[in-house]
Structure formats: structure tokens, C-alpha cells
């Protein structure tokens, strides 16, 4: 399935759904998220809808930031960020 690329502020918004079917409030949320300085990419799935803080059904790729609540406030509930000695290279064995 292909995607539709919508203009965003800092990054394009890639939608795997018909933009005409997305609620206006959800579209505004997507555009707001695309203005954040740490955003690397923004993808929108067919089940996208307005959420608390960020749209449900969106994938927000971040540079130098982690935000569990960006995938749904309930998913981020009770999570915290903890510095470890692990590096990204440690988990990328090919």
C-alpha cells in the first residue's frame, strides 16, 4: 500500500490513509507535531484519530528524544526514562 505525502512544518506527513477521512482536529494535531524541533518523521496509519496530546494511529520518529505517551497516553502511563550503559550499536547486530 502506498502513502500520500502531506506538507508538514519541519517534516512531511506520510499518510497511509485518505487525508479526506481524517478528522479536522486530528489533522491539526498532526501539523502541530510536525513543528516540533526533535521530529525526524511522521507517519499516519488508517486508524488515525484525535488523541490526548498526539494522534492515536500515528508514528512519531524523534531525534534525541523519547516520548512513550506519543503513541497513546495510556501506553506511556507509568513509564520513565532511565540512562543505561547500553548503546544503539549494541542492539543492531546483523
pLDDT per residue over 8-48, tens digit each? Answer: 888 999 999 999 999 999 999 999 999 999 899 999 999 89
Q: Report the chain's C-alpha Rg in angstroms.
A: 15
pLDDT the model gives residue 31: 94
Which three cell numbers mark 48? 488515525
For the beta sheet containing 4-6, the strands, ordered from the edge strand earlier in sequence to the opposite edge, are 4-6, 13-15, 39-49, 56-62
Model pTM score: 0.72
Q: What is the DSSP string of 36-81?
A: STTEEEEEEEEEEE--SSS-EEEEEEESS---GGGG-HHHHTT---
Name the band, by pLDDT with cuts 50, 70 and 90, for residue 68: low
Closest residue by Cα to residue 40 from 54, 57, 58, 61: 61
Amino acid at each position: 500500500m502506498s502513502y500520500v505525502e502531506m506538507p508538514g512544518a519541519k517534516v512531511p506527513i506520510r499518510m497511509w490513509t485518505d487525508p479526506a477521512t481524517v478528522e479536522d482536529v486530528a489533522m491539526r494535531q498532526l501539523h502541530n507535531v510536525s513543528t516540533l524541533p526533535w521530529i525526524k518523521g511522521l507517519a499516519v496509519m488508517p486508524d488515525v484519530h484525535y488523541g490526548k496530546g498526539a494522534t492515536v494511529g500515528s508514528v512519531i520518529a524523534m531525534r534525541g528524544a523519547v516520548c512513550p505517551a506519543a503513541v497513546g497516553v495510556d501506553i506511556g502511563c507509568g513509564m520513565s526514562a532511565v540512562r543505561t550503559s547500553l548503546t544503539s550499536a549494541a542492539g543492531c547486530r546483523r
